[in-house]
Structure 1
Amino acid sequence: MTQPANLPQASVMRRRAMWSSYLGSAVEYYDFLLYGIAATLVFPKVFFALDPKVATLASFATLAVGYVARPLGAIFFGHYGDRVGRKKMLMITLYMMGVSSFLMGLLPSYAMIGVAAPLALIALRLVQGFAVGGEWAGATLLSMEHAGKKSRGFAASIVGSGAPSGAVMATLALMPFAAMEESQFLSWGWRIPFLLSAVLVALAAYLRHSVAETPDFLAMQEAQKAQPPQKREIPLLVVLRCYPWPLLNGVLGSLACLAMTTLTATFMINFAIIVGGHAQSKALAMLTIVNVIHIFAIPAFAILSDRIGRKPVMIAGALAGMTLIFPIFHLITSGSTWGLLLGLMLANPVIHAMMGGPISAWLGEKFAADIRYSGMAVTFQVGSTISAGFAPLVATWLLMRSGGTDPTYVGVFFVTLCVISIMAILFAPESFRKTLDVTTNAPGGGDNEPAGQQNQASTAT
């Protein structure tokens, strides 16, 4: 892809794309992670008339439901994102997330309408998951495709920083109400942060409207116009036919990274409160501090991957996960506030950030621009559904199997995910210096670099 003639304007648009992707992602994940925190602290008591442990398990099951909807959203928004543009799909996902979160804040409790309450919660959760299925890839591409080759990792990681930013906003919004008397908090206090999402959505929508479509998407459209008229194949089918190995490799390579982020935000907080004996407000305060650090740790490791490669940074993160997961559980249950803080810091700003910083670019570099939205979205969301969606549920079940206090089985579960991810990353070629393809012309593609694609216009510096 040739450089734009007006370089200062391109630089302004690049920064605007990064900021809008970051802030939009923060708002999206505010909604999504607010649900994760509420699934731990509120929903078992408000929406499920069950034994406390079973209610917590049921609440985490609704958390998993949202992840099940993600691949469907990835397919839908990936298809139209590759056909009509990244920006238009991002506006739709933003509004879907905001409306569903706002309505959650208005839901009646189980005591008011019975089983209809958890059913309505599940329905809105499905809408959330469907929207997030298209949000991540679109926001990542909006930033990454405006960046140059030497800074792709950093640009793509900005969306990753939006997740802990959203978590910080969600936690800060919940903390004053979580400190209320429990009856008031469960009655109406928890609802206010959900209702506030309407304000955040309005802000994010304003920011996204100011960003132009990505240069890669526009270059892809021009390349297709220059080719003889032909029927365009469905992007997902191209991914499945031409990119089966990059798709599978990306899913397996992301398992440990994606599991860690939800285990920290949900299971570990619940574990710290119930088993570690930490106060609810203190656990949320420590999580907030950790997420602030996490915001900066993700792009820091992404910048490192722009210098030395994606693979060494991601593998180091998975190895750290295998080594540190059991000390993390010991620190969380030590009874010390500093121990809790250190344990959560090792989990997210170290283990997750080392894997999560480079992962957005690592996945994006596997696909050509004409199917990149579909390829990234499906790869990430399938991996997210398998690991992140079910990790808190599996971890809670494993903890119950071991008596409710021994996290050994949970640690073994996470170590297994790390081993799988390491093997997948080892078998993938390095891509941080790769010239990205604009169109897919021949079977193969992605990491295979077929000859038919090597001469395509690309996202050069």
Structure 2
Amino acid sequence: MTETTTAKRTPVKAAAASFMGSAVEYYDFFIFGSAAALIFPIIFFPDDDNAALVMSLATFGFAYIARPIGAVVLGHFGDRIGRQRVLMFTLVLMGLSTFIIGCLPTFDQIGWFAPALLVLCRLMQGLSAAGEQAGAASLSLEHAPDNRRSFFTSWTLTGTQGGQILAALVFIPVLSLPDEIKYSWGWRVPFWLSAVVVIVAFFIRRTLHETPTFQDAKAQGEIARIPLIPLMRDHWRDVLRVIFCAFIAAVSTVFGNLALAYGKEVGLAENLTLWLVVVANIVALGTQPLFAILADRIGRKPVFVYGAISSAVVMPFYMLSMSSGNTLLTFGLAILVFSFGYAAANAVWPSFYGEMFSARVRFSGMAIGTQLGFLMAGFAPSIVAALGGVQEGGWVVISAFTGAICLIAAISALTAKETKSVPTDTLGIRVVA
């Protein structure tokens, strides 16, 4: 057997790089989602109220069509040439596509070519995102000490909260601008500012070396030439499990995008709906690491299942509160459903999913499984909007949808093996009959 490498784990540096990369990805994703709910129906589509909103929200979902394709391609290279190189590529691609969106002409200027170009840029965002979280989670997991994998990998998803907070804080002033400014150049500023976030993350991520686990696998000749083959042969059940568990991500798009449109429909100010997202994400910055620590102690499955079930239970109360006129109650329920419910599953899934796979197919397994599952999250806003979820009384549709996807995710999680005590080097290794 070839001698292993002497590379050291650098869990803190890996977690920081993953945090910043995810922050970039979800800054870009959230400003697109906010604009799709509040700006794009007016400037990129014919003026037809609900139809324009449905089409605009569908552009948000188009990124999730590109994600499975990107997952196969980027997963292949992530397992072939390393996690760090692929993550540098995804960072630049996301930043570039987001900046271009801020430069696009509107429907009034070039007609249907405008939404077509918007969809093209959104597909580029999707290709980038397909490899970002899976790669960052693999990187953090393989750098982390065995007994703290959930904690260190959770910073990948905590970075998404940081990105959403930053995006909302940038977008709130835009919504306060006069319409002639907001719908001309004001909405473009948050997209242009993504370049600043990308530059910061680029220099942080550039100095991070490849994981010892990957380097050891490479030194021992265990790198698969076509990772998709051993993945589908040895881990197809795990891929299916991750797909259905990943339905839980629809809670985030319902909360962060669809609820913006529903809140506006029932009379909440646009600024207030964004502040709901900001406050809930700020609290989640503190609760997610705590849920991850808990998962390192009691296991991934109970924390994940709790997150799914609690999200389903609290969501209808949160949606109802939007039309109650009680702002304090709405903020309290927003924090409860997102920061103390969904945050539990969100914190745990990077370690939970990653530990199902061996090092030689981990990037591919996580990327393909999550991106197929995330299709549900991507199209949740447009599906529910088409069913009447953003109309008066739409809280019933939204709550029923959320309950269904959370139940599927919880049941799928219960079929998985608990891996908190399995050494990193033996994760996903099994005897194949």
TM-score in terms of structure 1 length = 0.90
Determine the C-alpha separation between the residues in 2 that align with 1:138 and 1:435. 20
Determine the C-alpha separation between the residues in 2 that align with 1:232 and 1:299. 34
Determine the C-alpha separation between the residues in 2 that align with 1:362 and 1:129. 23
Which residue is 1:247 aligned to? 239
Contact 2:11 2:152 (C-alpha < 8 Å) held by counterparts: no
Return the offset for 1:242.
1.2
Contact 1:74 1:381 (C-alpha < 8 Å) held by counterparts: yes
Which residue is 1:161 aligned to? 158
Determine the C-alpha separation between the residues in 2 that align with 1:334 and 1:404. 13
Using the TM superposition, name which of 408-417 and 34-43 deviates more: 408-417
Which of 160, 172, 176 aligns to 1:175? It is 172
Contact 1:309 1:431 (C-alpha < 8 Å) held by counterparts: yes
Contact 1:398 1:410 (C-alpha < 8 Å) held by counterparts: no
Which residue is 2:357 aligned to? 367
Which residue is 2:252 aligned to? 261
Which residue is 2:395 aligned to? 407
Which residue is 1:459 aligned to? none
Return the offset for 1:166.
0.5
Which residue is 1:67 aligned to? 64
Which residue is 1:274 aligned to? 265
Q: In the alignment, does 2:101 pair up with 1:84? A: no
Equivalences for 1:38-49 in 2 at 5 Å? 38-49=35-46
Deviations 1:422-459 (Å, cap 9, x if unpaired)? 21111111111122346xxxxxx93xx52479xxxxxx
Which residue is 1:21 aligned to? 18
Determine the C-alpha separation between the residues in 1 that align with 2:4 and 2:81. 23
Determine the C-alpha separation between the residues in 2 that align with 1:404 and 1:54. 16
Return the offset for 1:405.
2.6
Which residue is 2:226 aligned to? 234
Return the offset for 1:393.
1.4
Which of 298, 323, 335 aligns to 2:325? It is 335
Deviations 1:108-132 (Å, cap 9, x if unpaired)? 1100111110000000000000110
Q: Give the letter for the 1:243 counterpart.
A: H
Which residue is 1:191 aligned to? 188
Determine the C-alpha separation between the residues in 2 that align with 1:337 and 1:237. 53
Which of 403, 424, 427 aligns to 2:415? It is 427
Q: Give the letter for the 2:112 counterpart.
A: V
Determine the C-alpha separation between the residues in 1 that align with 2:99 and 2:159. 20
Q: Give the letter for the 1:366 counterpart.
A: M
Contact 1:153 1:303 (C-alpha < 8 Å) held by counterparts: yes
Which residue is 2:204 aligned to? 207
Deviations 1:39-84 (Å, cap 9, x if unpaired)? 1111100100131111110011111101111111111111001000
Contact 1:317 1:352 (C-alpha < 8 Å) held by counterparts: yes
Determine the C-alpha separation between the residues in 2 that align with 1:207 and 1:261. 27
Q: In the alignment, does 2:380 pair up with 1:380? A: no
Which residue is 2:139 aligned to? 142
Partner-residue secondary structure (3-state), 1:44: helix
Return the offset for 1:328.
1.4
Q: Give the letter for the 1:242 counterpart.
A: D
Deviations 1:254-296 (Å, cap 9, x if unpaired)? 21x2011111110112111211x11111221222111111122
Contact 1:260 1:347 (C-alpha < 8 Å) held by counterparts: no
Partner-residue secondary structure (3-state), 2:418: coil
Determine the C-alpha separation between the residues in 1 that align with 2:47 and 2:324. 30
Deviations 1:15-37 (Å, cap 9, x if unpaired)? 11111110121012111111011
Contact 2:17 2:205 (C-alpha < 8 Å) held by counterparts: yes
Q: Give the letter for the 1:322 counterpart.
A: A
Q: Give the letter for the 2:308 counterpart.
A: A
Determine the C-alpha separation between the residues in 1 that align with 2:312 and 2:23. 29
Determine the C-alpha separation between the residues in 2 that align with 1:340 and 1:403. 18
Using the TM superposition, name which of 242-251 and 343-352 deviates more: 343-352
Determine the C-alpha separation between the residues in 1 that align with 2:431 and 2:371. 30
Which residue is 1:441 aligned to? none
Which residue is 2:424 aligned to? 436
Q: In the alignment, does 2:93 pair up with 1:102? A: no
Partner-residue secondary structure (3-state), 1:254: helix
Contact 2:78 2:135 (C-alpha < 8 Å) held by counterparts: yes
Contact 2:5 2:219 (C-alpha < 8 Å) held by counterparts: no
Which residue is 1:317 aligned to? 307
What is the RMSD computed on CA atoms of the aligned residues? 2.1
Partner-residue secondary structure (3-state), 1:68: helix
Q: In the alignment, does 2:341 pair up with 1:344? A: no
Residue ranges of structure 2 left out of the alignment (5+ in a row): none
Deviations 1:139-178 (Å, cap 9, x if unpaired)? 1122111101111101111010011111111111111121
Q: Give the letter for the 1:410 counterpart.
A: I
Determine the C-alpha separation between the residues in 1 that align with 2:203 and 2:313. 44
Which residue is 1:301 aligned to? 291
**Matched residue count:** 432
Residue ranges of structure 1 left out of the alignment (5+ in a row): 226-230, 439-444, 454-461
Which of 385, 396, 417 aligns to 2:385? It is 396
Contact 2:241 2:413 (C-alpha < 8 Å) held by counterparts: yes
Which residue is 1:450 aligned to? 430
Deviations 1:176-203 (Å, cap 9, x if unpaired)? 1211112211111110110011111111
Determine the C-alpha separation between the residues in 1 that align with 2:339 and 2:66. 28
Determine the C-alpha separation between the residues in 2 that align with 1:301 and 1:333. 31
Contact 2:388 2:397 (C-alpha < 8 Å) held by counterparts: yes
Contact 1:367 1:437 (C-alpha < 8 Å) held by counterparts: no
Contact 1:28 1:166 (C-alpha < 8 Å) held by counterparts: yes
Contact 2:80 2:225 (C-alpha < 8 Å) held by counterparts: no
Contact 1:137 1:376 (C-alpha < 8 Å) held by counterparts: yes
Q: In the alignment, does 2:277 pair up with 1:287? A: yes
Partner-residue secondary structure (3-state), 2:361: helix
Deviation beyond 4 Å, 4+ runs, structure 1? 2-6
